Chain A
């Protein structure tokens, strides 16, 4: 079962622009995580935000969490061609992570 659902499914932007991806989920959570997957590779953890946090930053990444709306967003500022990848949100369900279907981001140089 997929707890998180990302939106949009695909996003194409120019290098230097900002990219925003959204994630909605159904049940209450303890934390929400974002991962990146480059083509043909494993997933790489980007950031974890706890349910009592509203915003978190890591370099060019900014994650927000709205537990009342059961949604999160990932903002990548000043995008680079190397940011081209699939991005997944994952929420805790019991003692395991449940991943969404992902957003495919393409950054054109």
Chain B
């Protein structure tokens, strides 16, 4: 079975540009999570969806960040405009069931904003 799929794996962009990260969760999973990982702040939850509905976006750093989940098999995280401090590895994860369960992580997107 395919795991969580993320694209692109690497993204290098200039400050001010729009960045879109994509995620395909594991088929049948009903929760999807976006995380950001940096050396300074560790792994931070940005937003999570349950049954395609955003449940908690309190981790989204500012209005420049937005996330959508138009259907059960696809989600995007958009940064507009991007800034150098957004440089990080962004992970998507999915899980199945209710409550806090084990999460399955994608390989991540390494974003570099110059």
For the complex, what is the distance from the CA of A88 to the CA of B37, rounded to whole Å?
A: 13
Within 8 A of A (CB), among B78-114: 91, 93, 99-108
Which A residue's beta carbon lies closest to that of B59?
A96
B42 within 8 A of A: yes
* Size of A's binding interface in residues, CB under 8 A: 21
Given contacts A2-B42, A88-B43, 14 further A-B contacts (CB under 8 A): A41-B107, A42-B93, A42-B105, A42-B107, A43-B93, A48-B102, A92-B100, A95-B48, A96-B45, A96-B100, A97-B33, A97-B103, A98-B45, A100-B42
* Chain A residues positioned under 8 Å from B99 (CB to CB): 30, 92, 95
Interface of B is mostly: strand
Q: Contact at B105–A44, with CB atoms within 8 Å?
A: yes
Which A residue's beta carbon lies closest to that of B50?
A95
Q: Contact at A42–B100, with CB atoms within 8 Å?
A: no
Q: Contact at B100–A31, with CB atoms within 8 Å?
A: yes
Q: Contact at A99–B103, with CB atoms within 8 Å?
A: no
A85 within 8 A of B: no
For the complex, what is the distance from the CA of A74 to the CA of B114, rounded to whole Å?
A: 39
7 CB < 8 A contacts A-B: A30-B99, A42-B107, A44-B105, A92-B99, A95-B48, A96-B48, A102-B42
